[in-house]
Structure 1
């Protein structure tokens, strides 16, 4: 961290800083036309932007965001200006810096200028189709422009995709290493659109180098407080909040946020008590809101940030807390081709369906993490490991252990992985230590310490301890603490060395006492012996007593997992034996259920395999299965109505219950679509391909966001609706004309921004003027059920609800 960044942190540590409020609505008040790029308009009207900067600075804002929220090349491309990304961001930033300098000279206040980086409008791999490295490069273009414009620090805000947050953060850190704040948005259930929890976000971004993490937009201040508390418990860095002024409503045909400045400011003390270090306002907040907030924050001091005592890993969706108080964590070992001919064949063929099933099975069996390894001859190990990550991340919520002997492969994997990974492993071998320690530190990964040295495999605990300390001391220079390292006790087979177990247990006991995590690959201990399961389980119990915290094992091994459950109770890790009781409090049909569960998916009737494929989002299997079913003479209408549609309805139920999130919903919807494409010719030939209704969909004028609308359209088409998708930024006239031409049963409207919501009632009014009898359904991130009712529209929160609404309306018409 440079001197400038340290000075920013020093200010944050002394008092709670005030951010600015909403920019888009302030620009509208000053003449921003609908459907125009705010960035281009800001560049062409610098004095208007300057007026907004001054207003917030005089209201008490310590930091001012540049008017570059949509300044990514992807957003600017919508207006034909992607090639000018650097120049546009530079010019807007220069205008903000000029205002700050003038305020400093004339009024004695000098707010920090924050380069604002918003979402790119696309999902990034493994959740979408935008290549991760291309995303990093695109964000770097915006970062360069902001740097040239003279910004003091950066904010990456309003993020819904943890992978996009990572890409943007890496762009900043790799270009200049500048002080960076990152904030995501969460729904009322406490998840991002992709299912990320505040805890997972906090762990992932702090480990990757974010200087501040927090939340913006999302909700009003009352609902945001709990999210701030949850984030605060997970990190040692400052926390920021930028809530809306309540949730939007329509008043006099205008989108308004109901929370007045006085009420907004009453949340200053609760946010300070929740641990916020930086606070401002998002949608609906004005300079008056910020002035009142600043007044209420006077005299309030930030909470002391205490060290986080436990080590934490994260997946794209969940955080995993480790340490002496947690149960022993099981690292599933099955995604490793060594000695596994079937997996080797599937990896050579590029078949990731098998890998996904291994991941799901291990998660269901009780694994806490998954070790992934692609080390075998005849394949591109790096690309295969990246493919495994892409395949596994959307289907299980467990953190991953990156396992490779090739440092280049490890670096590629931890760079791409959308969480905080565990590296397996870093030894005292000179080349690997020098190569991998900087990699682990750059991407914030924890790692397993393997007490090996060049040409040395120590069989005594004392030498292992020396090597562990050598690695730990080197890691400390990169900021690692003992809690972030997991010591491998180095299991050797007891059949060839009777003292092997004793030396390993001594290593585990010592490492645990030093505050390290500890891990063992259990099965090595019994190599060459009969009935190995008993030896492994007994050794596991002994290691648990010595302080073992992680075990690499097959979670499907019942004896081992039962031993783990008992060991957690006996070592005091399973409080009140709750997990133990839950594991064994099963009915009399347990064994029968196990047999049924263990039955291979390929043993199921093909129509049931189709159901499983849709529910699990197995895009690559569905076409083969549908063709197989048709060849067997199963009626296409039966497959669609009795199998595929009920399956996608189950997916919808999982989504509503937050068992599934957007990646799983998209995977299942696309699987359904691929299957329907196979069935459609047969359905048409049999005359059973009747459309359920005709729908016209569009994102309203002035709004260029269409991710949510596209997902809804995909779901509706899967259910047999004829959907005419007009795209984004569509005028009311064009929407109504399309509805007339196609004799639509329903018009669907989407809006992401509060500034474009007002276009929805315009469409409704025009439809009535033209005598259209069809209803209108609205949705989008900022749209609420109450707001929809106030304009006389139907409401859907997501694609699943949209299907139900459309079905009801079309049935009523029919």
Structure 2
């Protein structure tokens, strides 16, 4: 199926997808603990019958039984060298099942590992892993691809690029969001949509984690910005333990009652996830009769996004501030750090600029004496993990920009593309491949035109080329090119004319860098400030400036109020309330903080690079290791947990802080042992395991990391662990706490087996559980002592249980 036919079908029809596969396989004889992909190949009639049942129930398409068909997952069963063969055979079985009556979607799913910058897996390794799976699915004859149940936007990007670089078939990407509307790594639905549709996804949506009611809310949030059709595959409500079996609490008829609401919210592809069966798909088919899909009608607005935040650029939105300080030009200390491969100042500048009001961070690392590509990638990985602000990537090198765009887990803004022949020919295709928005410089090989009218002609020229790559006027931001008034007093007026034309005639956003306008003049700040106010009056939508300038930021805030862009003057009031606050002024840590304060700050900010240096200084100053741990490290990681609870921090920051804590403990632990020689080890033990039959351990690993950094002794047994092995380890270690994880409805019952065996053996150990398919009610049903929804909650629960 080519993309045109696929999208034409979606214009006229709701594409009904299949339901759950794993639970259906289990119902029909698949035992726990086996590789589903391998078992389906060994029992071909079972998977064919399941998929035929879905087609007969009214599905237009089925997903191949390849959810765990990637090299990482198959290697758990010793099948890592058979990826292509397994995927090919399973795609062929799906083709046999649907015949001419339906479509086959090649299923790609998480590897179970986080991709850099949110984890350890190199981005290109992730792309290669998915390409291997794509190859087998293509050989098996799939009609389209679906990348599903993605918790990490970077892994979703890797899989999407793997498909796009392997074939021209349509590709859908489906993320999974928690009850707070975020993925595990903190991506919200709108940011996920912006990133994925601009990277080339033909369909974007969500599946798993929630039932219909909550998923409809997610679809509604996406719809106003969706340029592509939307997909939804909700669970059949919540899992419950009934008569010793895991069942979901929503019957098929109730599930079907939400179908009209899904279509009215904007869904074009609809199916079921965990707990659904052919009965549920029959309800979808029944309830879509007479309904037609709502076509994409996105708002005409420019959007750039990080993995956790979208910034909109538009004449009706507040002026967007682009922080200019991450640029080595004129900054000797930053130059020296970058040459040494250090990023302390980059981190500091990023934090300070965002705190002062920068919405986007400009990143330029170009200078003599460094590998610009390597440095740019390193800085992007750092900033993507520690900051929510989207990035503006500033380089004249096509090679550097491609490397940066490829690994950036967001939709970047490129600074910049002009009508210069080399830039237009090399940069525009790169920007289009990765879906970046870009700043358009109205200059050509002859230089910068003096008149605004000539610059406007160049804008049209570049845009006409961009049209060929699918760009719209809302994907570009025109730089008015500010020249110095000391050399030409008409220069500022010409720039203002360009801004006005772009705003009122051409219809795109605009940006200026302020400092050049006043070059060579005395008291330059006044000229810069006046020019900013005038430019905003002419329609300016973005400004590159130093947000530490109170004057410039105050003018920006006031202008947003006067142009009715700041609803109820909320941001203006917040900004000036902070300036006149009665709170004591806290000295900047970088200048006056003590070594132990810097240790605290390093953990909070996840600054693993510098924590060793600050610990060394503190130790030389005579501060005891135990004091560093008890008075500074533990309070710091506790504060990080509080920020995580408040949703001010997300998993990437949590992991960064935990890794910094780990680094600090690695330095101090030998010294602590000397301090406490002869004393009994007081650490509380926790036996951790993913239960029998379940090979998912990413959540458990994060919990283990956090527990260790809060002072617990962790005995990690790994994944697919039997109740007998867990109880044996508890007896051996006398650990008072057991932590169990399960990510599959087919394995959550094993948790009850562990609880029963613990009680049977008369052990006093407390059992806590976690995982995507379980909840607090389930913990009560099986007799567990508690449930934690995430890693930090697990730490708090373990602390509570250790006191009882």
Q: What TM-score bracket applies, with the shorter chain setting the length? A: over 0.9
CA–CA separation in structure 1 for the residues paired with 2:136 and 2:432: 28
CA distance in 1, matches of 2:685, 2:376: 44
Alignment partner of 1:764 out of 733, 755, 759: 755
Matched residues in 1 for 2:476 and 2:227: separation? Answer: 18
**Mapped contact 1:692–1:810 kept (Cα < 8 A):** no
In 2, distance between residues paired with 1:133 and 1:51?
A: 37
Match of 2:113 in 1: 122
Instruction: Measure how far apart 1:604 and its partner are.
Output: 0.5
Q: 1:762 to 1:716 in 2, by over 3 A?
A: same
State how far apart, in whole Å, the 1-side matches of 2:67 and 2:550 are.
53
C-alpha deviations, 1:138-158, integer Å up to 9, x for none?
A: 100000100000000010000
Preserved contact between residue 329 and residue 549 of structure 1 (Cα < 8 Å)? yes
Distance in structure 2 (CA, Å) of the matches to 1:393 and 1:322: 20
Deviations 1:498-539 (A, max 9, x none): 111011111111111211110101110011112211110000
Aligned to 2:790: 798
Partner of 2:31: 33
TM-aligned CA distance change 1:563 to 1:730, over 3 Å: same
Looking at structure 2, the residues matched to 307 and 202 of structure 1 have their Cα atoms a distance apart, in angstroms, of 12
Q: State the distance in 2 between where 1:600 and 1:744 align.
A: 40
Q: Does 1:517 align with 2:509?
A: yes
> What secondary structure is seen at the aligned counterpart in 1 of 2:393?
strand
1:644 shift after superposition? 1.0
TM-aligned CA deviation for residue 619 of structure 1: 1.0
Structure 1 residues 361-400: Cα deviation after superposition (integer angstroms, max 9, x where no partner):
1111100101101110000001100001001011111111
Provide, for residues 208-229 of structure 1, a one-character-per-residue CA deviation record: whole Å limited to 9, x for no partner: 0101100000101111111010
The residue aligned with 2:764 is 773
Q: Cα–Cα, structure 1 residues 587 and 124, in superposed 2: closer, same or farther, change >3 Å?
A: closer
Larger deviation, residues 632-641 vs 749-758: 632-641
C-alpha contact 2:334 2:345 (8 A) present in aligned 1 = yes
Question: Which has the higher mean CA deviation after the structures are superposed, 307-316 or 537-546?
Answer: 307-316
Is contact 1:269-1:297 (8 Å) kept? yes
Aligned pair 1:185/2:176, yes or no?
Answer: yes
| 1:416-463 C-alpha deviation (Å, 9 max, x unpaired) | 111111110001011110111111111111111101111322111111
The count of residues paired between Structure 1 and Structure 2 equals 800
CA contact (8 A) 1:19 1:62 kept: yes
Q: Is the 8 A contact 1:683 1:689 kept in 2?
A: no
Cα pair distance change 1:254/1:470, threshold 3 Å: same
The 5 Å alignment of 1:541-556 reads 541-556=533-548
Q: How does 1:463-542 map to 2 (within 5 A)?
A: 463-513=454-504, 514-542=506-534
- Is 1:662 matched up with 2:660? no
Give the corresponding residue for 1:436.
427
Per-residue deviation at 1:589?
A: 4.8
How much has 1:4 moved relative to structure 2?
A: 2.3
- Structure 2 partner of 1:558: 550
1:652-731 superposed matches below 5 A? 652-687=641-676, 690-731=681-722
Q: Is the aligned partner of 1:391 residue 2:382?
A: yes
Does the residue aligned with 2:149 lie in a helix, a strand or coil? strand
Residue in structure 2 matched with residue 606 of structure 1 by the alignment:
595
Counterpart in the other structure of 1:338: 329
Q: Identify the residue that residue 642 of structure 1 maps to in structure 2.
A: 631
Pairing 1:237-386 to 2, within 5 Å after superposition: 237-386=228-377
Asked if the contact 2:224–2:297 (Cα under 8 Å) also holds between the matched residues in 1, the reply is no
Instruction: For residue 165 of structure 2, give the secondary structure of its aligned residue in structure 1.
Output: helix
Cα separation, 2, equivalents of 1:641 and 1:799: 21
Task: Measure the CA separation in 2 of the matches of 1:491 and 1:162.
Answer: 37
Aligned to 1:107: none
Q: Is the 8 A contact 1:449 1:468 kept in 2?
A: yes
- Structure 1: distance between partners of 2:192 and 2:131: 22
Q: What is the TM-score normalised by the length of structure 2?
A: 0.98
- 1:46 is matched with which residue? 44
**8 Å Cα contact 2:88-2:140 kept in structure 1:** yes
Per-residue Cα deviation, 1:74-100 (whole angstroms, up to 9, x for no partner): 111111111111111001001111222
Query: What is the aligned partner in structure 2 of residue 619 from structure 1?
Result: 608
1:563 alignment partner, SS class? helix
1:62 and 2:60 correspond: yes
CA distance in 2 between counterparts of 1:183 and 1:357 reads: 35
1:426 to 406, 412, 417: 417
Per-residue CA distance 1:192-236 (angstroms, 9 max, x = gap): 110000000000000001011000001011111110101111112
Per the alignment, residue 734 of structure 1 pairs with 725
Measured after TM superposition, the shift of residue 293 of structure 1 is 1.8
Distance 2:565 2:793 in 1: 42
Provide the residue aligned with 1:810 in structure 2: 802
- Shift in Å at residue 592 of structure 1? 5.7
RMSD: 1.3
Between stretches 783-792 and 763-772, larger displacement belongs to 763-772
Structure 2: gaps spanning 5 or more residues: none
Structure-2 separation of matches of 1:375 and 1:803: 43
Whether the 8 Å contact between 1:602 and 1:609 is mirrored in structure 2 is no
SS in 2 for 1:623: helix
1:452 matched to which residue of 2? 443
- Trace 1:226-241 onto structure 2 (pairs within 5 A): 226-241=217-232
**2:396 maps to 1:405:** yes
What is the CA distance between 1:748 and its match in structure 2?
Answer: 0.9
Q: What is the correspondence of 1:163-242 to structure 2 with a 5 Å cutoff?
A: 163-242=154-233
Deviation at 1:587, TM superposition (A): 7.0
Q: Distance in 2 between matches of 1:550 and 1:484?
A: 14
Q: Is the 8 A contact 1:332 1:555 kept in 2?
A: yes
